[in-house]
Chain A
């Protein structure tokens, strides 16, 4: 029954995003312009929203498990701030080596460098330590943001507004050409963390119990981190940073179905994807033709619901 309702809601959002908002397009009577809007604007945008949301939902669920910390959000690891910094550097220096792909590619490069840095900090003599991961992530985030703000404050470049918009999640740049590589990295990340879901369950009981259940604790944690890094990097480079999803979607799913990661991770991906798709739909419809960045919409809808759940049920770690 629960599965059925999820399928209905998700397909409803998908269909509404494609055909009904901001203006209705009848898929059975398309003219040439409507077909182009559908195929080259709405469809890639919906797919990017689903991919990004799925990546953030799943990586949030995994990270909260790895750190056993309910406040963990994939952005806390500094991956997104690394991406933002390099993307802004690209925009402000005006180096567009890769044409229209310049922003996503520089962002992806920044995300990868930041992931390697934070991962290297967490690794110490054969052990992958979650506390160090968290603290290194927070530290690097501060550093990257400081440099980013410095750049923005001293720059007079006309691209500055674009850079700032991108920081709040700009799905309007979505385009078919970005989808294949986003899809590859996000699928790879999802595949890794789904195949390690049992190990994550065991790790949540503590390192000693995970060892006793036959897992190589630090190796499993490193693999899970790699999956988070892949998904977060790809999602940031697809459409910037969209807050709330990585933090709160896994919580909401956990409230509904419990803590078992074998179900929690895939369902967080599905709900994250559907939720970002819905937020984007609202963002581009309510004040059309002006757009509200998705990150703002996700926070405005999601936070009250989360606070309502918080009053009703227990939270992870309480």
Chain B
């Protein structure tokens, strides 16, 4: 199925945002996300990845332009109704509160007054934390904690996940574990995911990538179209080349000037 025939679930139309009155932080940003897409948001530190995710989740409000979620302007949603459609996880989940895993996960039910499609235990099992349901989240590893929060979003049942650097500060093993889990959820539940990223190698594995610089989009599309030497040079200010192995798998190679 071509992406044109899928629904647009999130649309940023010419969005601008400024933290400071004189200096725009996000400029003329337009982006459409379709049903079931898995999109990587790639850019250097301070390029505006987090701000774009916060705009899309309604945490900060745009100074210009419009953001639509499904068929309605984001700002017209009631908090609880929005929470059933869209879920945001911040980068730092280092929360020193001794909630148990099952207490944390069950918070995903807060927007609802009715019983959910899946139970708390099912959500915990899906992320592979079944044996740790009664453990305090303060005693989990970084990867496990991330998975516990993802279980919470599953219970929340939102069709769109906005994840701010979910792989940051994780060992490669946990990074792959989280990616595998997210892919699986996307396939099984047709969830759309936008995640901010740092690692270009990982971005190469995505269906679609958005490359950001100074709050504006440099490129949006398939990784092989967007992650070219020129655009990467512009985004990260270093010489990076994408090469292909004999197997066809792409990888990045840094220029000699680093």
Report the Cα distance A208→B90, complex, angstroms: 7
Report the Cα distance A316→B108, complex, angstroms: 22
Partner of A215, one of B86, B88, B110, B156: B110
Q: B194 to nearest A CB, angstroms?
A: 14
| Interface residue B95 (Cβ < 8 Å from any Cβ of A) | yes
Residues of chain B contacted by A260 (CB below 8 angstroms): 99-100, 103
Establish whether residues A316 and B90, one from each chain, have CB atoms under 8 Å apart when the complex forms.
no
Report the Cα distance A109→B96, complex, angstroms: 37
Residues of chain A contacted by B138 (CB below 8 angstroms): 314, 318
Q: B145 to nearest A CB, angstroms?
A: 12
Establish whether residues A208 and B59, one from each chain, have CB atoms under 8 Å apart when the complex forms.
yes
Interface centre among A208, A211, A215 (most CB of B within 10 A): A208
Establish whether residues A205 and B95, one from each chain, have CB atoms under 8 Å apart when the complex forms.
yes
Among residues of B, the one whose C-beta sits closest to the C-beta of A216 is B79
Residues of chain A contacted by B111 (CB below 8 angstroms): 213-214
Residues of chain A contacted by B82 (CB below 8 angstroms): 214
| Interface residue A202 (Cβ < 8 Å from any Cβ of B) | yes
| Interface residue B54 (Cβ < 8 Å from any Cβ of A) | yes
Known interface pairs A206-B90, A208-B59, A314-B138; A213-B110 also in contact (CB < 8 Å): yes
Q: A243 to nearest B CB, angstroms?
A: 25
Write the A82-96 contact mask toward B (1 if CB under 8 angstroms, else 0).
000000000000000
Establish whether residues A318 and B83, one from each chain, have CB atoms under 8 Å apart when the complex forms.
no
Interface residues of chain B: helix, strand, loop or mixed (majority): mixed
Write the B102-143 contact mask toward A (1 if CB under 8 angstroms, else 0).
011001101100000000000000000000000010100000
| Interface residue B80 (Cβ < 8 Å from any Cβ of A) | yes
Report the Cα distance A254→B100, complex, angstroms: 12
Partner of B83, one of A213, A254, A317: A213
Among residues of A, the one whose C-beta sits closest to the C-beta of B149 is A209
Q: A196 to nearest B CB, angstroms?
A: 12
Establish whether residues A202 and B97, one from each chain, have CB atoms under 8 Å apart when the complex forms.
no
Establish whether residues B57 and A258, one from each chain, have CB atoms under 8 Å apart when the complex forms.
no
Partner of B57, one of A212, A254, A317: A212
Report the Cα distance A68→B89, complex, angstroms: 19
Among residues of B, the one whose C-beta sits closest to the C-beta of A219 is B79
Establish whether residues A214 and B79, one from each chain, have CB atoms under 8 Å apart when the complex forms.
yes
Residues of chain A contacted by B103 (CB below 8 angstroms): 201, 258-260
| Interface residue A204 (Cβ < 8 Å from any Cβ of B) | yes
| Interface residue A198 (Cβ < 8 Å from any Cβ of B) | yes
Partner of A213, one of B54, B95, B99, B156: B156
Which parts of A215-235 form the interface with B (CB within 8 Å)?
215-216
Interface centre among B81, B99, B136 (most CB of A within 10 A): B99
User: What are 13 contact pairs spanning A and B, CB under 8 A?
Assistant: A201-B99, A205-B97, A208-B54, A208-B90, A209-B88, A209-B89, A209-B90, A211-B59, A212-B89, A214-B82, A258-B98, A260-B99, A314-B138
* A209-B88, A214-B79, A258-B98 given; 17 more Cβ-contact pairs under 8 Å: A198-B107, A202-B110, A206-B90, A206-B92, A207-B59, A208-B59, A209-B90, A211-B59, A211-B88, A212-B156, A213-B107, A214-B80, A214-B84, A214-B110, A258-B103, A316-B96, A318-B96
